[in-house]
């Protein structure tokens, strides 16, 4: 309204049409129907069309999945949105939109959060929201065209600020570098490039963090000191890949003489073949050279490694006695430091 007054009095403060919302204003029902166009299939063999289409599909899908994750967290009832169903619905919607000359559609956090903040709790709220947008765009485009783009930008900024609270960033940094490093990389990359590149870089950093974490957690140990000797129990992680081979080999090489080493694979779902070979080699060759009793337990049949049938009498006596003088536990790095110091 204020801008309309500025235009009426010829003020320099009036906003130019290029900075206002620009929706087509049909003069008649025929003009309205004429806005719908059918696809031009003459360019279907053009590879550029396929590249652009694939890019739009990936970006829209990623944006929708991110919005689903954020919306589920905003939902006061803490319900879970099936991502596959959301993508299927988006795909069907985009097919229909493309067939009538519409733009690609995707789920966005601004309207989703506005719906939740307005008290929306069911699917009817989403449908009503969409119908209202359609009715306004079709019936009152002249009024909508008076809205400055800066006003819409301000609404987006305020909504974004409400979603990105300082407490969220503080919590992310408290969760450790494996949480905040991918987060910061993703945010910075999105700001300086685009959504697709930003998400891709964030995913790449996350994969590196996961691989690094996997390397650092190949097993957990429990070292027990009994009256008749030491016992070291290695509990292998859920997944032991080739990345863990070096740390396991180093640990086994540093095992002290005249001890009992228990390797427990009860919690594993996958052990790399090279790691299994290293364990076999340690049991059959190196352990005998250092007078180490090796007890293998929990190894599944598909690992093709024999569990120990005859548990050494000394170790069995230790378990039965319960006389433990000292106990130390931790991850493989802590055990290696302890073994190297000794």
pLDDT per residue as tens, the chain (342 positions): 677 787 778 778 888 888 999 999 988 888 888 889 988 888 889 999 998 899 889 888 988 998 898 888 888 888 888 999 999 999 999 999 999 999 999 988 888 888 888 888 888 988 998 899 989 998 999 999 989 999 999 988 888 887 777 887 887 788 777 788 888 898 899 889 887 788 889 889 988 887 776 666 666 666 665 545 577 888 888 888 888 888 888 888 888 888 888 898 988 888 888 889 999 999 988 888 888 888 898 898 888 888 877 665 555 555 444 544 444 555 556 665 666 555
**Which H/E stretch holds residue 224?**
strand 219-226
Establish how many alpha carbons lie within 13 A of residue 296's alpha carbon, considering only the half-sphere containing its beta carbon.
18
| Beta bridge mates, 219 | 236
CA angle 319, 325, 327 (to 5 degrees): 80
Domains and CATH numbers, the chain: 23-144 (no CATH), 165-215 (no CATH), 218-341 (3.30.750.24)
Specify the pTM. 0.62
| Beta bridge mates, 329 | 222
Tokens of 40: 């031009």
**Which H/E stretch holds residue 232?**
strand 229-236
Contact 201, 189 (CB under 8 A): yes
Nearest to 163 by CA among 200, 214, 114: 114
């Amino acid at each position: 309204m204020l801008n309309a007054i500025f235009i009426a009095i010829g003020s320099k403060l009036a906003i130019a049409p290029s900075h206002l919302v620009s929706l087509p204003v049909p003069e008649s029902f025929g003009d309205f129907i004429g806005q719908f166009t059918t696809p031009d299939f003459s360019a279907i063999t053009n590879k550029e069309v396929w590249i652009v289409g694939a890019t739009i599909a990936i970006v829209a899908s990623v944006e929708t999945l991110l919005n689903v994750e954020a919306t589920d967290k905003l939902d006061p009832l803490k319900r879970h949105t099936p991502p596959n169903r959301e993508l299927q619905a988006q795909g069907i919607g985009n097919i229909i939109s493309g067939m009538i000359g519409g733009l690609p559609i995707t789920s966005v956090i601004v309207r989703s959060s506005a719906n939740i903040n307005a008290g929306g709790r069911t699917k009817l709220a989403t449908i009503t929201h969409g119908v209202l947008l359609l009715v306004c765009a079709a019936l009152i485009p002249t009024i909508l065209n008076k809205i400055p783009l800066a006003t819409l930008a301000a609404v987006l900024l305020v909504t974004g600020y409400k979603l990105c609270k300082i407490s969220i960033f503080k919590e992310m940094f408290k969760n450790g570098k494996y949480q905040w490093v991918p987060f910061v990389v993703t945010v910075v990359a999105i700001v300086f490039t685009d959504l697709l590149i930003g998400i891709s870089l964030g995913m790449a950093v996350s994969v590196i963090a996961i691989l690094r974490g996997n390397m650092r957690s190949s097993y957990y140990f429990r070292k027990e000191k009994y009256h008749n000797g030491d016992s070291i129990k290695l509990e292998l992680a859920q997944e032991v890949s080739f990345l863990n081979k070096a740390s396991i080999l180093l640990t086994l090489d540093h095992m002290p003489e005249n001890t009992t080493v228990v390797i427990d694979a009860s919690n594993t779902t996958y052990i790399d073949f090279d790691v299994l070979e290293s364990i076999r080699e340690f049991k059959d060759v190196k352990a005998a050279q250092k007078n180490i009793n090796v007890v293998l337990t929990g190894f599944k049949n598909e690992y093709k490694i024999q569990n120990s049938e005859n548990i050494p009498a000394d170790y069995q006596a230790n378990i039965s006695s319960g006389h433990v003088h000292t106990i130390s536990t931790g991850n493989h790095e802590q055990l290696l430091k302890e073994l190297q110091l000794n």
